[in-house]
């Protein structure tokens, strides 16, 4: 008998990669539900799944969840643009809808795996540890922290695990639709800088390119999500590489991979909430998920740039 797994936001970047992996998993049927406000149908062309256009807290969908029609739920639907400042909208879409899903899933005892964010840490000192330094700098980060708090309140009332995955700076195949949807502003810096270099533009970084991020390759993000299907208990886990790297490192890697030379233009940073240094502490991830990343920045960028240079679009093939 097949498992049926629900993925909200499944036409988006991470959701479509999860769908691609699960669709290859024996005995698994995948339902993608998306309102297509930020995702893209082209991400699902080669993914063997059922697709439904709807809000993630659509009453009919919530009834299906409550009736136990899914063996697991991946909740990836969200406003992911960190520059959106409409507080009510952000909390309604990100936090309220998640609470509706948890209430419905509690009736059926369905496992829920959801997308949290490293934005919950704001500019707290790295390394970033779950339960410490949770001081978001914008409404996006707060909406994700509020989701984590809602999940904690349901832990004792929910018979199946609820697992939150705090994604750090994810990059890799499946994000190219962001070029067209939002002018590339929510795409990874790796893709943004690659596109700048390929178009002959001089790369621009905030002064002086030494801000550090934990860049995590999409293949590792997918493997963490698959590991969450077997997690024995609820919890919130960081999903990152565990090693911070600078934006200058990204440029250096790109110029080597593309065999070009560039002059970097350093500009003032207009964002007061900009994170200067993120780095995932992975202790909880190893304990709860029995997971750790496999892809270094160099290895991940080499794989990604090779795919981009060959015209690859959409999620990468995964072995589930």
CA angle, 293 then 42 then 26, to 5° = 55
Cβ contacts of 29-35, under 8 Å, gap ≥ 24: 29/2, 29/3, 29/4, 29/5, 30/4, 30/5, 31/4, 31/5, 31/6, 31/7, 31/70, 32/7, 33/6, 33/7, 33/8, 33/9, 33/58, 33/61, 33/77, 34/8, 34/9, 34/10, 34/77, 35/77
Distance CA 225, CA 228 (A): 5
Q: What does pLDDT average to over the chain? A: 94
Q: Where are the alpha helices (DSSP H) in the chain?
A: 13-23, 59-66, 87-90, 97-108, 139-154, 178-181, 189-198, 218-227, 247-258, 283-289, 297-309
Q: What is the pTM of this model?
A: 0.95
Please list the active-site residues.
Answer: 140, 178
3-174+211-246+269-309: CATH topology: Rossmann fold (3.40.50)
Q: What digits encode the pLDDT tens for the residues 254-305?
A: 999 999 999 999 999 887 767 789 999 999 999 999 999 999 999 999 999 9
Q: Domains of the chain: which residue ranges?
A: 3-174+211-246+269-309
> DSSP letters along 250-305, please?
HHHHHHHHHT----PEEE----TT--SB--B--HHHHHHH-------HHHHHHHHH
Q: What digits encode the pLDDT tens for the residues 212-262?
A: 999 999 999 999 999 999 999 999 999 999 999 999 999 999 999 999 999
Distance CA 211, CA 204 (A): 13
3-class state of residue 163 by DSSP: strand
Distance CA 53, CA 177 (A): 18
Q: What digits encode the pLDDT tens for the residues 86-136?
A: 999 999 999 999 999 999 999 999 999 999 999 999 999 999 999 999 999
């Amino acid at each position: 008998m097949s498992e049926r797994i629900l993925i909200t936001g499944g036409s988006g970047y991470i959701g479509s990669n999860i769908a691609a992996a699960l669709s290859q998993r024996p005995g698994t049927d995948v339902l993608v539900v998306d309102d297509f406000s930020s995702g893209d149908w082209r991400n699902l062309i080669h993914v063997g799944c059922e697709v439904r256009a709807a809000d993630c807290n659509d009453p009919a969908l919530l009834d299906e969840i409550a009736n136990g029609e899914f063996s697991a739920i991946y909740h990836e639907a969200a406003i992911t643009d960190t520059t959106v400042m409409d507080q009510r909208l952000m909390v309604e879409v990100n936090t309220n809808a998640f609470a509706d899903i948890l209430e419905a899933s509690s009736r059926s005892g369905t496992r829920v795996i959801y997308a949290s964010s490293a934005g919950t840490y704001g500019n707290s000192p790295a390394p970033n540890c779950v339960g410490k330094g949770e001081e978001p700098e914008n409404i996006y980060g707060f909406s994700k922290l509020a989701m984590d708090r809602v999940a904690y309140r349901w832990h004792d009332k929910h018979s199946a695990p609820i697992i939150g995955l705090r994604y750090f700076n994810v990059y890799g195949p499946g994000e190219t639709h962001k070029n067209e949807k939002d002018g590339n502003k929510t795409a990874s810096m790796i893709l943004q800088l690659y596109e700048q270099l390929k178009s002959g533009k001089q790369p621009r970084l905030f002064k002086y390119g030494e801000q550090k991020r934990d860049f995590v390759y999409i293949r590792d993000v997918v493997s963490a999500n698959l590991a969450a299907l077997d997690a024995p208990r609820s919890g919130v886990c960081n999903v990152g590489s565990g090693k911070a790297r600078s934006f200058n490192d990204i440029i250096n890697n790109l110029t080597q991979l593309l065999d070009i030379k560039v002059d970097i233009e350093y500009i003032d940073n207009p964002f007061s909430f900009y994170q200067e240094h993120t780095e995932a502490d992975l202790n909880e991830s190893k304990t709860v998920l029995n997971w750790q990343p496999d892809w270094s920045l160099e290895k991940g960028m080499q794989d990604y740039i090779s795919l981009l240079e060959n015209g690859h679009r959409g999620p990468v093939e995964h072995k589930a």
